[in-house]
């Protein structure tokens, strides 16, 4: 035989032995694995693992997102904000307290009181009403002590601010659709800030929220809104700068329905040059959203420091959309809480929220008794 055949045969033998050993080893490994599985079965994905007797069942790990803010709970927020409204810093409060501390209630004292109320944006109508009622009651009921005067003043102030108005916010889903909250107002009043703060209020109450940046007029507004959302783990639906606000609002609500959120809050632009433009745009935003889900709350944001201007804006917005609630911002900087009464009378819509600072949690539900008591606090 040719020696080349010896070499070929030797190579084949070596190869066959190698394959045999390999298969054997693999089979042994498979066998070991199978045995191990029989002794300790691998759980199906998502299946619950029975704890060993005596062993504590493992707690499902909370998804912890690093760097998220923890918004202040509504209760302590209210107390803090009440404290901020109280006392001598507030013109309305000062006027009320000066009446209570007057030695005698002569014409001059009543005139001064009336002037202070008007200058604190209470408006001429409500001021005259209040002063007339107080004068009559003080006389008829023979007020002879500051305590009695305070009691009457408190009662009349409560009536003026109207505790009977429904101030609840329709921002929690009640059916299959999410609640939709449209936030409108002139630029600079604090709309974007309010949307951000409101998202925090909802997150603190464990609601699932989505934001819609329909202020496409100013790119920085969407940026600002997204930053507010990111701080509490809430997503923002945005569009390109200058894109149609109605389509961004629609996309946000569409995504909200898809994700099953409790509330979609839509921020809108306020910087429109003509009233007609404003009407067209806001009307369209609302109509387009409602192809997807009803708008459950329309909040008009008014800057308390703008006084009569705020009222003029309120009138314009009332013509455009059905405002269901007012957010009065910057009450901390105005010292003129009287605007609450005027704006409610003007629109026939309750003040539902008040902003009392630039801080992330400086927004609180408006509480009539808390407000009046804060004004009368010394």
Residue ranges for the known binding site for GTP are 185-192, 267-271, 329-332
Based on CB atoms, which residue is closest to ligand GTP, 87 or 357? Answer: 357
Question: Minimum Å distance from CB 121 to ligand GTP?
Answer: 16
Question: Minimum Å distance from CB 359 to ligand GTP?
Answer: 8
Question: Minimum Å distance from CB 363 to ligand GTP?
Answer: 7
Based on CB atoms, which residue is closest to ligand GTP, 198 or 263? Answer: 198
Question: Minimum Å distance from CB 203 to ligand GTP?
Answer: 18
Positions that interact with ligand GTP (CB under 6 A): 185, 187-193, 215, 218, 221, 269-271, 329-330, 332-333, 355-358, 362
Residue nearest ligand GTP, Cβ-based: 355
Based on CB atoms, which residue is closest to ligand GTP, 122 or 353? Answer: 353
CB 240 within 8 A of CB 222: no
Strand 325-329 and strand 235-237: pairing?
A: unpaired
Question: Minimum Å distance from CB 267 to ligand GTP?
Answer: 7
Based on CB atoms, which residue is closest to ligand GTP, 292 or 330? Answer: 330
Question: Minimum Å distance from CB 272 to ligand GTP?
Answer: 10
Own/partner pairs for 140-148, CB < 8 Å, 24+ apart? 146/100, 146/101
Based on CB atoms, which residue is closest to ligand GTP, 158 or 279? Answer: 279
Q: Is 284 exposed, middle or buried (0-12, 13-18, 19+ CB in 10 A)?
A: middle
């Amino acid at each position: 035989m040719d020696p080349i055949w010896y070499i070929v045969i030797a190579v084949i033998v070596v190869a066959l032995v190698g394959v045999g050993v390999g298969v054997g080893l693999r089979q042994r490994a498979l066998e070991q694995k199978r045995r191990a599985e029989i002794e300790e079965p691998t759980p199906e994905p998502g299946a619950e693992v029975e704890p060993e007797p005596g062993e504590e069942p493992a707690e499902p790990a909370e998804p912890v997102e690093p760097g998220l803010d923890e918004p202040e709970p509504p209760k302590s927020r209210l107390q803090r904000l009440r404290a901020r409204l109280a006392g001598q810093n507030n013109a309305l409060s000062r006027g009320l307290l000066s009446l209570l501390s007057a030695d005698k209630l002569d014409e001059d004292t009543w005139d001064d009181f009336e002037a202070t109320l008007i200058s604190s944006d209470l408006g001429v109508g409500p001021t005259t009403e209040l002063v007339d009622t107080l004068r009559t009651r003080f006389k008829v009921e023979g007020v002879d002590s500051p305590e009695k005067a305070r009691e009457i003043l408190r009662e009349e102030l409560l009536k003026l601010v109207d505790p009977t108005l429904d101030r609840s916010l329709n921002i929690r889903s009640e059916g299959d659709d999410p609640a939709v909250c449209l936030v409108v107002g002139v630029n600079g009043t604090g709309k974007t800030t309010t949307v951000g703060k409101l998202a925090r209020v909802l997150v603190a109450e464990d609601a699932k929220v989505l934001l819609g940046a329909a202020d496409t007029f100013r790119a920085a507004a969407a940026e600002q809104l997204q930053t507010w959302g990111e701080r509490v783990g809430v997503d923002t639906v945005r569009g390109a700068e200058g894109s149609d606000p109605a389509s961004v609002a629609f996309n946000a609500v569409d995504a909200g329905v898809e994700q099953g959120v409790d509330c979609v809050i839509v921020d809108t632009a306020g910087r429109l040059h003509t009233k007609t433009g404003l009407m067209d745009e806001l009307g369209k935003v609302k109509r387009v959203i409602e192809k997807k889900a009803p708008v459950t709350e329309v909040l008009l944001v008014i800057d308390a420091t703008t006084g009569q201007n705020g009222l003029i804006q309120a009138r314009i917005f009332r013509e455009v959309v059905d405002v269901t609630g007012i957010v009065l911002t910057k009450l901390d900087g105005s010292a003129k809480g009287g605007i609450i009464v005027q704006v409610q009378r003007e629109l026939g819509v309750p003040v539902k929220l008040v902003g009392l600072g630039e801080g992330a949690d400086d927004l609180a539900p408006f509480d009539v008794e808390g407000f009046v008591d804060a004004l009368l606090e010394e």
